[in-house]
Amino acid sequence: MNDWNDHATLAGERVRLEPLTRDHAKGLFEAGADPAIWTWLSLRRPEDPAAAEAMVEDILADPDRRAWAQIDARTGEVAGTTSFYAIDARHRILSIGHTWIGSAWQRTGFNRESKLLLLRHAFDDLGANRVAWETDIRNLKSQRAIERLGAQREGILRAHRVRPDGTVRDTVVYSLTGPEWPAVRTALSSSV
């Protein structure tokens, strides 16, 4: 079995995923300027660079999460962040989430390539059996994006999370398994 603590830089044509550090906080603050980005996230938009630094500190303090800064490979700008979480090396499963990108990178293929890099790392490098995604039941845009990746909708976890505004959300769960990965890899690779 491969090293599930590995947190390598993953590079594609449009995106480079760098292990998140405090140095990315200013770029995340700038990329996250549009309040609409934060609608479905479990975090509130940082009000200033100091709040962005605190957000990054909190992310880095989570022992169950491997976070990456999403970097625009062409410009070097920080575009957003994404993570592996709920990592269980024994059973070779993990989830992808805590993902957002700035408005300038939405609908450009940036997120698709980012997910391809993460899935290659999970299945090809780590030997994962299963990769999962969770999203708010009201976030139809996210659900469609996950489905376009080739993931299968598994069901709904009722009263699963508390949103930042205090309301209780139901969570839609998706997954992709090892045997499904080769076909998904081919489809994603041809569309990136």
pLDDT reading at 1 higher than 80: no
0.85 exceeded by pTM: yes
Confidence at residue 5, expressed as pLDDT on a 0 to 100 scale: 84
pLDDT reading at 3 higher than 90: no
Confidence at residue 177, expressed as pLDDT on a 0 to 100 scale: 98
Q: Provide the domain count of the chain.
A: 1
Q: Does 2 fall in a domain?
A: no
CATH number of the domain enclosing 76 = 3.40.630.30
Q: Does 116 fall in a domain?
A: yes
Domain that residue 83 falls in: 10-191
Q: Does 1 fall in a domain?
A: no
Q: Model confidence at 46, in pLDDT bands (50, 70, 90)?
A: very high
* Residue carrying structure tokens 């479905």: 40
Q: Which residues are within 8 A (CB) of 188 and not within 5 positions of it... i.e. 6 or more apart?
A: 112, 115, 116, 119, 149, 150
Torsion angle of the four alpha carbons 139, 55, 109, 15, in this order, in degrees rounded to the nearest 10: -160
pLDDT reading at 148 higher than 90: yes
Q: Does 5 fall in a domain?
A: no
CA-nearest of 29, 48, 26, 25 to 37 is: 29
Q: What is the rounded average pLDDT for all residues in the chain?
A: 95
Per-residue pLDDT tens for 57-112? 999 999 999 999 999 999 999 999 999 999 999 999 999 999 999 999 998 989 99
Confidence at residue 6, expressed as pLDDT on a 0 to 100 scale: 81
